[in-house]
């Protein structure tokens, strides 16, 4: 049985993350908007708005063990890929990218006590995007496309949450990763080769025969630099 949740569409908001958190009343709540005045990315970075964009945030209380909660950002990424198209790939830990590696969508997870709010921002149409960024569609899809995508995403994410962490989609994530197999750097670290994603969602990197695990809460960005042989 599908998880019941509330859907609220708003034209423009300050932040769907804040709206979802403030409107949560015990039932999972999906807030969607066509635009945000103060949307944010990871570590408080400002989110750039495409001319036609989707901003969506899903607030819920997951019943997963605390040690597995970080996996939900990756699970949300898989759900986003299903909603946006299987030709897209996932850049650890929170971006959806085109086959060419340009950013199409981003995710943001914020937790306050037991409440988790996961946000999804999608560039639906952007005729002249900045370098490294692209849009999902070549023509403006109109105002109804965003909310429909958000519902598909929320359906997939909540279904995965209900299935439990043992079925989170590790093999699929590795297969569609845009990070594994690349040499990466990060703040105050690297270069190292990204070799795996561990059971808690950490990125396993290797350099000089030594492996370490990067955790998304402590690493603001991971930048692929070259493909390995």
Is the domain of 129 the same as that of 211?
Answer: no
- Residue 101 CA to residue 125 CA, distance in Å, equals 17
Tell me, what's the pLDDT at 64? 95
| Residue 216: per-residue pLDDT | 78
Task: Answer yes or no: is 1 within a domain.
Answer: no
pLDDT-derived band at 12, boundaries 50, 70, 90: confident
Q: What is the pTM of this model?
A: 0.91
Same domain for 133 and 62: yes
Could you tell me if residue 56 is inside a domain? Answer: yes
One domain for residues 165 and 194: no
Residues 80 and 149 in one domain: yes
Structure tokens at 159: 């279904």
pLDDT for 186 equals 84
Domain range for 153 is 6-175
> Same domain, yes or no, for 130 and 191?
no
Answer yes or no: is 110 within a domain.
yes
Q: Are residues 187 and 218 in the same domain?
A: yes
Mean pLDDT of 2-24: 91
The span from the CA of 91 to the CA of 104, in Å, is 11
Share of the chain above pLDDT 70, in %: 89
Tell me how many domains the chain contains.
2
The answer to whether position 114 is within a domain reads: yes
Angle, in degrees to the nearest 10, between helices 71-84 and 145-163: 140
Q: Read out DSSP for 58-115? A: EEE---S-GGGTTHHHHHHHHHHHHHH-TT-EEETTTEEE-TTS-EEEEEEEEEETTE
pLDDT in the model for residue 229: 33
For the segment 104-137, what is each residue's pLDDT rounded down to a tens digit? 999 999 999 999 999 999 999 999 999 999 999 9
Same domain, yes or no: 107 and 35: yes
**pLDDT for res 199:** 83
Q: Are both 217 and 146 inside the same structural domain?
A: no
CA distance 127 to 5: 34
- Indicate whether 167 and 194 sit together in one domain: no
Q: What is the pLDDT of residues 34-79, one digit of tens each?
A: 877 765 555 445 566 789 999 999 999 999 999 999 999 999 999 9
- Integer Cα distance of 171 and 136 in angstroms: 25
């Amino acid at each position: 049985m599908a998880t019941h949740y509330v859907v609220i569409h708003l034209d423009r908001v300050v932040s769907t993350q804040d709206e979802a958190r403030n409107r949560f009343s015990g039932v999972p709540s999906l807030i969607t908007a066509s635009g945000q005045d103060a949307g944010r990315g990871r570590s408080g970075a400002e989110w750039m708005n495409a001319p036609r964009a989707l901003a969506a945030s899903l607030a819920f209380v997951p019943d997963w063990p605390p040690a597995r909660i970080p996996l939900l950002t990756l699970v949300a990424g898989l759900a986003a890929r299903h909603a946006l198209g299987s030709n897209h790939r996932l850049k650890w830990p929170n971006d959806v990218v085109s086959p060419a590696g340009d950013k199409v969508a981003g995710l943001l997870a914020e937790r306050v006590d037991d409440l988790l709010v996961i946000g999804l921002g999608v560039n639906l149409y952007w005729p002249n995007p900045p370098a490294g960024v692209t849009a999902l569609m070549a023509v403006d899809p109109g105002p109804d496309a965003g909310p429909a995508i958000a519902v598909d995403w929320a359906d997939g994410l909540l279904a995965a949450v209900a299935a439990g962490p043992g079925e989170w989609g590790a093999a699929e994530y590795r297969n569609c990763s845009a990070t594994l197999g690349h040499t990466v750097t990060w703040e105050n670290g690297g270069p190292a080769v990204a070799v795996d994603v561990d059971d808690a969602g950490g990125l396993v990197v290797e350099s000089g025969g030594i492996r370490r695990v990067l955790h998304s809460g402590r690493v603001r960005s991971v930048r692929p630099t070259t493909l390995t042989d």
